[in-house]
Structure 1
Amino acid sequence: MSARRADDDTEDGGRSDRSQCRTAAEAAAAAIAQLADLTSKATEGATSAEPIEDGWLVEVEVLEDRRIPASSDTLALYEVELDPDGNLVAYRRTRRYARGSTDIGARGTS
């Protein structure tokens, strides 16, 4: 049996347009849901979503360690790569920090 191409127009062989992430919001929602499933950690939300050549690159903020008071929680940023259909291809933690840190957006700056 031969593999089918993504643009097949047959009813049983082609991918549905409904499964594709067409907007940043759809990509962010897919990344959040799949990362939460994989890590079993609470997600705080997406901090960025950008189209790339083979899908989407989404940055998701995750609660790594819940503490009391909440202002001392440890959060992390994860980079999530999705294919055009919204399937997780790769993910990696890029940064850990305390909730309320003010230097989160200061990559490469002093």
Structure 2
Amino acid sequence: MPRERPRERPREERPRARPREERDRSEREPEPERDRSEREPEPERDRSERERPRTRRPALVARDAARSAARHVQGLTGRTPEGVTSLERTEDGWTIGIEVVETHRIPDSTDLLAEYQVELDDSGELVSYRRTERYYRGRAENRT
């Protein structure tokens, strides 16, 4: 027959020692509360500092703006973007240049490429887009 184990007794709850910082604070005399009129006045702030509008951080960072522009171009043209050619922050959003292969040819150096200019608002929504130029991949140096 297996031996029965003796039951363990629950540990008695001992009061936890207070951290030293709390003991030191409780042993000190409480500081008398100051009247608000006795407190030191807050320093005067320059009026222009108070009235200056806070510059808000853009809702969309450059990398996300470029990705959003590429998605919009792909959705509108049905062609996969090759890359980002330009990126500029404007007052109310972003202007991004996206390069797209319009026609694949053999050899690749004769592919027909196009650059689309995309304007996005601060939240990444499309404001406008247009094709700004078309060129052959092998003759890109002749672009203006």
Give the SS at the match of 2:109.
Answer: helix
5+ residue gaps, structure 1:
1-19
Greater fraction of residues in strand: 1
Counterpart for residue 73 of structure 2? 35
Offset, 1:103: 2.8
CA distance in 1, matches of 2:62, 2:136: 27
CA RMSD between the two structures: 1.0
Deviation at 1:91, TM superposition (A): 0.2
Task: Give the equivalent residue in structure 2 for 1:54.
Answer: 92
The match for 1:95 is: 133
Partner residue, 1:71: 109
- Provide the rounded CA distance (Å) in 1 between the counterparts of 2:97 and 2:122: 16
Q: TM-score, normalised by structure 1?
A: 0.73
Whole-angstrom distance in 2 between the partners of 1:64 and 1:77: 10
> d(CA) in 2 for partners of 1:102 and 1:24?
27
SS of equivalent to 2:101: strand
Pair member with larger Rg: 2
Cα distance between partner residues in 2 of 1:103 and 1:55: 31
One of 54, 59, 83 as aligned partner of 2:121 = 83
Letter aligned with residue 28 of structure 1: A
Moved over 4 A (4+): none
By relative contact order (CA 8 Å, sep 6+), the higher-ranking structure is: 1
Q: Deviations over 1:86-105 (max 9, x none)?
A: 0111100000000032133x
Residue identity opposite 1:64 in structure 2: E
The 1-side partners of 2:74 and 2:68 are apart by 10
Aligned residue type for 1:79: Q
* TM, length-normalised to structure 2: 0.56
For each residue in 1:35-92, what CA deviation from the matched residue of structure 2 results, as whole angstroms up to 9, or x when unmatched?
1011101210111111111100000001111111111000001000001000111100
